[in-house]
Amino acid sequence: MKNSSVENMKNEPFLSDWMSGRMSDDQLKLLVSEADFLAYQQLKMMLSNLQVPEPDMDSNYAAIQQKLEGKRQEKVSKSIPLYGYFTAAAAVLLFFGLYHFFVFSNSISTGYGGTTKLTLSDHSQVTLNARSSLSYPSLFRWHRSLKLEGEAFFEVAKGSVFSVETTQGSVQVLGTKFKVLARPDFFEVTCYEGKVKVCMPSKTMVLLPKTTVRSYQNTLETLEESEAEQPQWITGESTFKKLPLYLVLDEFENQYNCKLKYPKELASVPFSGSFPHHNIEVALQAICIPLQLKYVKINSTKIIISE
């Protein structure tokens, strides 16, 4: 592509309308030259199929430095046309521009006890639970893929495939509502509307509405959910269904920014119930009383639970 075309794409805001389908080819032809129109078409075709992997910057830098050193030692008998440098520079700028737009260059995160809601460029909405983070590319509308650590509820606008990548597995949908929880030793996906494809190392499955799949400690479970339209933590209450107590207490720590100590034999005790996010005393009682446990608050950040 000529340098003028690359520069025009930076300065002409109507191109975003054409790239997203809000402007037709005929309308664009009235605004640009024939040569630029052909160049834009080539770039659009390339963008529609491009998936740029994250490069190994250290290896690439070392390789470039090695080549540059070789060039310095090489005796050049003839001059290089000046336009060659401009072409190479434009190609490098275009590559890194595309890399910036397609890799997960944007991120948002929450702290202890916090939630936040984000509207993406395709009009999908994401609500992050406490101690969670989300990253996504700048051109998300054309590359609907995100990376999640922690827990989030997704309300996906209809369109191309929408994927959520985690270290525990991935989720793919077209337009639906679902929740993903991905902690280091726990993975859970709940479908509230539509269909959700869940890909895990051990199994791939499709979830229908009001269905949950969870994976932890080499176990895989499928559960039927209630008629709720969204997770209860969005309204300030964490709810659990037959989960090992250690996972419940991990979530308690995420909400109240404290450290719980408890006997190891309690870790696998199953718990079904809920606790509120805005009253630590009530939350402790909601967990301990059903299991006939006791708790002692050492200070504001340390609590001991015992039988």
Burial 230-247 (b: 16+ CB within 10 A, else e): ebebeeebbebbebbbbb
Q: Which residues pair with 190 in a beta bridge?
A: 179, 212
Q: Could you give the 3-state DSSP secondary structure of residue 251?
A: helix
Give the pLDDT band of residue 72 (cuts 50, 70, 90). low
- 97 and 115 share a domain? no
Please check the confidence at residue 48 and state whether its pLDDT lies above 70: no
- 87 and 116 share a domain? no
Write the CATH number for 277: 3.55.50.30
Give the pLDDT band of residue 288 (cuts 50, 70, 90). very high
- 208 and 196 share a domain? yes
Answer yes or no: is 245 within a domain.
yes
Please name the residue that has the structure tokens 């737009």: 101
So what's the pLDDT on residue 46? 55
Answer yes or no: is 71 within a domain.
yes
So what's the pLDDT on residue 298? 81
- 124 and 219 share a domain? yes
- Residue count of the chain: 307
- 150 and 216 share a domain? yes
pLDDT in tens, 200-211: 988 899 999 999
Q: Say how many domains are in the chain.
A: 3
Task: List CB contacts of 299: < 8 A, sequence separation 6 or more.
Answer: none
So what's the pLDDT on residue 70? 62
Please check the confidence at residue 297 and state whether its pLDDT lies above 60: yes
d(C-alpha 108, C-alpha 151), whole Å: 13
DSSP character at residue 140:
G
d(C-alpha 263, C-alpha 203), whole Å: 33
Domain that holds residue 160: 106-224
Please check the confidence at residue 24 and state whether its pLDDT lies above 60: yes
Confirm whether pTM is higher than 0.75.
no
Among 176, 198, 224, the domain boundary falls at 224
Per-residue pLDDT, averaged over 240-267, amounts to 93
Write the CATH number for 160: 2.60.120.1440
The bridge status of strand 211-216 relative to strand 219-224 is antiparallel
The CA-CA-CA angle for residues 225, 289, 277, to 5°, reads 60
